[in-house]
A and B are shown apart, each in its own frame.
Chain A
Amino acid sequence: MRSAVIALVRKDLLAELRSFEAVPAMLMFTISAFALFHFGLDRSSLEGSLASGVLWVTLLLAAVLGMNRLFVTEREQGGFDAFLLAPVDRTAMFVAKVIVLFGFLVVVEVVAVAAFAVLLLEPGLGRAMPGLPLVLLLADAGLAVIGTLVGALAVQTRARDLIVPLLALPLSIPLLIAGANATAPLLARSGAAALEGRWLAILGLYDVVFALLAYAVFDYLLED
């Protein structure tokens, strides 16, 4: 199964490099959103829980964009069939897609957080390290799992673009809550406070439960 996962991941990364569909869209959206927040809030600098909230909501919405595109090529170019015909474990596709979406999210976040620091954030990022990347990575894992599950579910329905956000956003809210609360003290103006372990625990628990659940249930989405 590992070779199947590697083959799938390579294929998706190659396709993304060629066609540039998901990552640029997510990046564009993120930067535009920061600009919108600047105008909407009429503030040039944010800190603390407000900064945390803006960052997380933006990243979550960008993630939904990525989720939308995750399975499109499989659906439209017969990738599901080709995969189903191969003598491989079907959960390989689940694992591969989670890895791919996770990768996209990490790439987007590296750029987005840097942009955020430059455009909107008042205190520097220095004190937020290494807490911020840790929280982001944990949340990304959860988002990747949710996104793969919802993406696979929605791609076979008629209203894919509607269903993905409608399903993914409520499911992601606990991640948003934990992530935003965890990073708020890190981005505070008056000296960064410590990272609360409680939020990391929630993120971790959510990730594990959902990963196991999705792994168990994914097969049913592929068969006919």
Chain B
Amino acid sequence: MTTDPAVACVGVGRAYGERTVLRDVSFELPAGQTLAVFGANGAGKTTLLRMLATLLRPHAGDVRVLGSELPQQGWAVRGRLGFLGHEPLLYSALSARENLRFHARLHGVGRERVDGLLAAVGMELRADEPIRLLSRGMVQRVAVCRAVLHEPELLLLDEPYANLDPAAVALVRPLLTGGTRVLISHDVEGGLAEADLVLGLRGSEAVLLGHDAAQVRKLYA
């Protein structure tokens, strides 16, 4: 029995107006493994991640995520993805608990999971304050809860440990490990340690690299 890769991209491209952001990106990520994506700012990492999250359409090439072609079959996949981007995607007037309950309703998840997750990241005491009163690190913790609320098969993470102090990182890490992951990170050592596959983006070109820190650093040169 052949297992399809969790994520497969062939010749994927995306342009913004007349500027090509991604060109000919190809890789296969088997289920259960982690892909680390490195590249300087503006190299197209976020664009790639958003494409895998069904938020952007590819302008060229084929994208298959969890067995579904994007963008036509995006609807089949959305509930099985967990996305953590730059924005926390939380409403600032509502509390953490209310935000998570809202997302739980959208995904058909029960309320107990919300409370459980809030406790797991150490936010149960401040779960009922409006988000706008929380520090950036706390907001990030709640955002992690949001991303994993519906127990997704594939995690798409854009610098998940940004804004987090070491104690918070320790709380959050167990929630974000396991399963298939695509991880964008600026932490070369940390990212490489967690990765099974490494993708480097430079200009709009994408190259599969080995676990070589020196090669990764060259992307930022």
- Interface residue ranges, A against B (CB under 8 Å): 3-4, 6-7, 10-11, 14-15, 18-19, 73, 77-79, 81-88, 223-224
Contacts and interface: CB of A to CB of B under 8 A. Distances in A.
Contacts of B106: 4, 7, 82-83, 86-88
Interface of B: 53-57, 75, 78-79, 81, 83, 85, 87-94, 98, 102-103, 105-108, 130, 146
Given A18-B130, A87-B107, A81 B94 contact: no
A77 B98 CA distance: 15
B130 A87 contact: no
B93 A15 contact: yes
A85 B105 contact: no
A18 B130 CA distance: 9
A56 to B, nearest CB: 32
Contacts of B83: 81, 85
A124 B143 CA distance: 54
Contacts of A78: 85, 87-90
B89 A77 contact: yes
Given A73-B91, A86-B106, A81 B55 contact: yes
Contact of B55 (A7, A19, A73, A85): A85
Contacts of A7: 102, 105-106
Nearest to A15: B93
B102 A18 contact: no
A84 B51 CA distance: 12
A86 B103 contact: yes
B67 to A, nearest CB: 15
A81 B194 CA distance: 27
21 contacts: A3-B105, A4-B106, A7-B102, A7-B105, A10-B102, A14-B98, A18-B94, A77-B92, A78-B87, A78-B88, A78-B90, A79-B91, A81-B87, A82-B90, A82-B106, A84-B54, A85-B54, A86-B79, A86-B107, A87-B79, A223-B57
Nearest to A76: B92
Contacts of A10: 102
Nearest to A74: B91
Contacts of B53: 85
Nearest to B86: A78
A85 B81 contact: yes
Contact of B78 (A14, A73, A86, A223): A86
Nearest to A3: B105
Contacts of B75: 87
A224 B94 CA distance: 27
Given A83-B106, A86-B78, A87-B107, A19 B93 contact: yes
Contacts of B79: 86-87
Contact of B94 (A6, A14, A88): A14
A4 B78 CA distance: 15
A44 B205 CA distance: 72
A75 B107 CA distance: 21
A18 B132 CA distance: 12
A3 B110 CA distance: 13
Contacts of A87: 75, 78-79, 106-108
Given A7-B105, A11-B102, A86-B106, A224 B55 contact: yes
Most buried by B among A4, A82, A84: A82
Contact of A224 (B56, B91, B130): B56
Most buried by A among B83, B90, B93, B146: B93
